[in-house]
């Protein structure tokens, strides 16, 4: 059994397309369940999801990471597949996830854009860099396209209660656990281009996330400024005192402290 988990918050415009793509998979519909985890939508998302998903549950954890973990806790499958409400999955998506997880503990694949333009193409090409560490068995499990064996997921405690970089955090902890992962070009999903509409702001938001994840306050990964409020001073709140050498030493010190 595969459990598909979809977090939502005011996604009435896109959740129907997402769930219909999940209902038209190459696998027998009896071999997987679809769980929607709603974070308090006020736009009709829940009523749409109730007509298309197997279960709709209310979110209890914090952030999108908490929503994904809530879904995993409610799941019955030995395989967990995660995608987003603004994403449609390819016809063989779950079949590819199932085949991959016969050999690996986690898998991911391409995230294509439904409405490609120059900004979306730049973002897609940037995400190709996520695979640079694949030879070291570090795979960036993008939130809209990931499969994880339930036993491996539970061993690392599942997703953290954060919204920003929840997928990266899970990828890091899978890597530290020694979980074997793969990138499969056939495990394809198609997502909204809305993240690319404000490409500079989105890039600053990602930089803000990594800065706080590595060097500052991970609590800011739950409550963070809106993308339109992003600027370099937001990314590096003390940028006028920021010194790259100090940042590198801090990273090294933290890495050393993690060595058994």
Say if residues 45 and 15 touch (Cβ distance below 8 Å). yes
Domain termination residue (choose one: 162, 196, 230): 196
Q: Are residues 48 and 7 in the same domain?
A: yes
| pLDDT tens figures, 204-232 | 777 777 777 887 677 778 776 555 554 55
Q: Are residues 249 and 175 in the same domain?
A: no
Indicate if the pLDDT at residue 255 is higher than 60.
Answer: no
Q: Are residues 186 and 241 in the same domain?
A: no
Token pair listed for 39 = 């974070």
Q: Are residues 169 and 159 in the same domain?
A: yes
User: Any idea of the CA torsion for 224, 228, 233, 234, to the nearest 10 degrees?
Assistant: 0
Q: Are residues 154 and 228 in the same domain?
A: no
Q: Are residues 166 and 83 in the same domain?
A: yes
pLDDT of residue 259: 40
Indicate if the pLDDT at residue 130 is higher than 50.
Answer: yes
Domain termination residue (choose one: 196, 214, 246): 196
DSSP sequence for 158-173:
SS-S-STTHHHHHHHH
3-state secondary structure of 88: strand
Q: Are residues 83 and 132 in the same domain?
A: yes
The residue segments making up the domain with residue 12 are 2-196
| pLDDT tens figures, 48-82 | 999 999 999 999 999 999 999 999 999 999 999 99
Half-sphere exposure of 56 (CA within 13 A, CB side): 19
Indicate if the pLDDT at residue 90 is higher than 90.
Answer: yes
């Amino acid at each position: 059994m595969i459990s598909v988990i979809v977090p939502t918050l005011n996604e009435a415009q896109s959740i129907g397309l997402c769930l219909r793509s999940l209902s038209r998979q190459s696998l027998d519909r009896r071999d997987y369940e679809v769980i929607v985890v709603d974070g308090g939508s006020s736009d009709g998302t829940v009523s749409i999801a109730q007509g298309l998903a197997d279960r709709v549950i209310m979110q209890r954890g914090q952030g999108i990471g908490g929503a994904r973990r809530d879904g995993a806790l409610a799941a019955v499958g030995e395989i967990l597949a995660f995608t987003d409400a603004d994403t449609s999955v390819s016809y063989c998506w779950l079949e590819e996830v199932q085949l991959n997880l016969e050999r690996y503990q986690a898998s991911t694949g391409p995230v294509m854009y439904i409405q490609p333009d120059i900004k979306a193409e730049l973002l897609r090409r940037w995400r190709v860099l996520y695979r640079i560490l694949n030879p070291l068995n570090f795979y960036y499990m993008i939130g809209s396209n990931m499969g994880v064996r339930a036993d491996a997921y539970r061993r690392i405690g599942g997703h953290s209660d954060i919204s920003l970089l929840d997928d990266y955090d899970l990828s890091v902890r899978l890597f530290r656990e020694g979980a074997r992962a793969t990138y499969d070009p056939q495990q394809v999903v198609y997502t909204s281009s809305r993240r690319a509409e404000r490409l500079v702001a989105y890039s600053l938001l990602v930089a803000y996330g990594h800065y706080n994840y590595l060097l500052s306050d991970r609590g800011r990964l739950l409550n963070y400024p809106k993308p339109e409020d992003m600027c370099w001073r937001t990314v590096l709140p003390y940028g006028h005192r920021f010194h790259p050498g100090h940042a590198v030493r801090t990273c090294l010190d933290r890495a050393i402290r993690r060595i058994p």
